[in-house]
């Protein structure tokens, strides 16, 4: 699962990027709006965390263009505490959710899982080896009727094992 972060504030970009990598996401990070639009044309990401105040092209414009091009990729906008109008505009332009700075990393991860789950079509398929199945969008493993919510490490391990079954013998 690959996430694009669009954030010109290096402290926030760094913190979010680390948190996502920690949670076993692949992460790309760009710091201006035109780079964001360009990289999103590649269709390689499953979700976007989008700051509004950005150099070159602001976040709302990036979002508007993205939706105009027919993309349904989940977008969470990141706004300042007093950015009520930006939030409303963002939702009107087709954002899936928003986070107000400063935000808690765990809340960010939960909201990310939620928007990806809601747009199941974009999410990676459920992996299974016939005994255990794993839904990368929700991080839920299932064995028979029992569900397990995994830690980041457990998830990363199980994900790798289900993707490369031979690896367990090596």
CB of 22 to Ca ion, least distance (A): 23
- Residue 53 contacts Ca ion per CB under 5 A: yes
Indicate which single residue of 16, 45, 51, 162 sits in contact with Ca ion (rule: CB under 5 A): 51
Q: From 26-34, 50-58, 70-78, 95-103, give the range in contact with Ca ion by CB under 5 A.
A: 50-58
Q: Is 8 in the site for Ca ion (CB under 5 A)?
A: yes
Give 82 or 145: the residue with its C-beta nearer to Ca ion. Answer: 82
Number of residues counted as binding Ca ion (CB under 5 A): 3
Task: Collect contacts of 57-62 with beta carbons under 8 A, ≥24 apart.
Answer: 57/32, 57/33, 58/33, 59/6, 59/33, 59/90, 60/86, 60/89, 60/90, 60/93, 61/33, 62/6, 62/33, 62/36, 62/37
Q: Is the peptide bond before 29 cis (omega within 30 degrees of 0)?
A: no
Chain residue whose CB lies nearest Ca ion: 53
Q: Answer yes or no: are the C-beta atoms of 94 and 59 closer than 8 Å.
A: no
In the range 136-155, which residues lie near Ca ion by CB under 5 A? none
* Binding site residues, Ca ion, CB under 5 A: 8, 51, 53
């Amino acid at each position: 699962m690959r996430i694009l972060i669009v954030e010109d504030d290096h402290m926030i970009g760094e913190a979010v990027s680390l948190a996502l990598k920690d949670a076993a996401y692949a992460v790309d990070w760009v710091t201006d709006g035109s780079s964001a639009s360009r990289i999103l044309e590649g269709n390689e990401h499953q979700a976007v965390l989008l700051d509004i105040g950005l150099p070159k092209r602001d976040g709302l414009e990036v979002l508007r263009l993205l939706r105009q091009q027919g993309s349904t990729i989940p977008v969470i906008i990141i706004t300042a505490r007093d950015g009520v109008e930006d939030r409303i505009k963002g939702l009107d332009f087709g954002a899936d959710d928003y986070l107000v700075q400063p935000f808690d990393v765990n809340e960010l991860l939960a909201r990310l899982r939620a928007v990806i789950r809601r747009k199941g079509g974009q999410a990676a398929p459920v992996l299974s080896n016939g005994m255990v199945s794993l839904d990368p969008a929700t991080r839920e493993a299932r064995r028979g009727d029992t569900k397990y919510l995994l830690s980041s490490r457990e998830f990363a391990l199980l994900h790798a094992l289900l993707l490369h079954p031979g690896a367990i013998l090596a």
